[in-house]
Amino acid sequence: MSDTRSRDEVREDIAETRAELAETASALAAKADVKAQVKNAVTEKKQAAADKAAQVKEAAAEKTAQVKEVTAEKTAQVKEVAAEKAAQVKEVAAEKTHAAADSLAHVKQSTAETASRVAEHAAVTKDQLVGRTDPDGVVRGRRPVPMAVAGAAVLAVAAAAATLLRRRRRR
């Protein structure tokens, strides 16, 4: 080494070298301090876990909000469709009830008319078979009619009534 450097320069070099040595010694001491390294690593891992938990929580909150929104939309759609279907069912039921009431009234009227005709015919047939009686109960003027003709007449009336009733039920 030559003495071309001044004392101040040498002092500066020494001070600089000491500073570098102090840094190197601190770094070596830090590497040698396992407890501090573990503590720092644990702190870093805790912070990373907390950050990740916050991210997951935020993502879950967003997904929950989306699911709530979609659920609300779908619920509204289902309610609307259900209301429409209920109105349609109500309308059809009212129409069917009205039609059934009309049909029932017509069947009742037809049945009453048929029963009246059958009663009249039975009375006529009875008079023909039994004969006429006066108020004292004396038989006057028998008009015998063969049983087969009377039975056929009754069967014809019953068949006509049954046919009418079947037609009414099919409507």
Hey, what are 2's tokens? 């030559």
Check residue 89 and give its pLDDT.
93
Our measurement of the distance from residue 40's CA atom to the centroid of its chain's CA atoms, rounded to an integer in Å, reads 57
Top mean pLDDT of 31-40, 49-58, 97-106 is at 49-58
Split at pLDDT 50, 70, 90, the class of 168 is confident
The reply to whether the predicted model has a pTM over 0.75 is no
Split at pLDDT 50, 70, 90, the class of 123 is confident
Check residue 75 and give its pLDDT.
95
CB atoms within 10 A of CB 103: 14
pLDDT reading at 90 higher than 70: yes
Residue in the block written with tokens 């063969």: 146
Check residue 143 and give its pLDDT.
55
Percent of the chain predicted with pLDDT > 90? 35
Of 165, 160, 157, 159, which Cα lies nearest the Cα of 106? 165
Q: Which residues pair with 139 in a beta bridge?
A: 133
pLDDT reading at 2 higher than 60: no
